[in-house]
Structure 1
């Protein structure tokens, strides 16, 4: 008998919490709840956003075929800056594309810290520009 009272009180408390959290009572119709609360905007992935963009497609293919991903990621810094950080720092101009393509080919140090970016002398200027254009598309 003495155990029943605490168990009964515990069950009553759980039922009260469940009811307060929406576990009981009338449910609203989906029409009224849909009109009062806007649906959150669906976040579009880069692949969806740029799936038909030839700059995105060419640049991504060339980056995947290179060693870029061993030091860079789209939104997270590894050894070098993320592509998003580079895109945020530089405007998409012909001058910046040329300058950044030369940095990819010749390497460098000092713009993003003391870790040097290795040179990629076997990379053509056209390929480097395609890669840079892809990176600059990632501007938020």
Structure 2
């Protein structure tokens, strides 16, 4: 008798656990008289104006901070490469194109034998903004 009872219990548990369960939690339903608000359109020009830095130098700063530049350069002291203030003291705005190309191509010899790695994926326009930022640090 004990075996029959245990078998019946196991069979019942098996049937219950293998049966198709329906979600018993009620799904909240919005009231019929409630209107949902439609999402407001985003003014992308306003967002861009708030997010975009005001000047090429400010954009250049953002680009420099987002790149690998700060692993070799500091603003006011030599690290691996020259300090930005030293670069700014040596060059003028007339050198922006030349320096932007140096950032893209890399190079060595001007500031020592340790080469600057090339940044081939950087656009000329962004490289110019970065150089303008660096040149803005004249003492």
Taking structure 2 as the reference length, what is the TM-score of the superposition? 0.60
The within-5 A match list for 1:30-109 is 54-93=55-94, 96-109=95-108
Structure 1 runs of 4+ with >6 Å offset: none
Structure of greater Rg: 2
Structure 2 unaligned segments of length 5 or more: list them.
1-52
Aligned residue pairs, count: 87
* CA shift for structure 1 position 53: 5.6
Q: Residue 4 of structure 2 corresponds to which residue in structure 1?
A: none
CA separation in 1, counterparts of 2:75 and 2:54? 17
How much is the aligned-residue C-alpha RMSD, in angstroms?
A: 1.2
Structure 1 unaligned segments of length 5 or more: list them.
1-51
* CA shift for structure 1 position 57: 1.1
Q: Residue 28 of structure 2 corresponds to which residue in structure 1?
A: none
Residue 72 of structure 1 aligns to a residue in which SS? Answer: coil
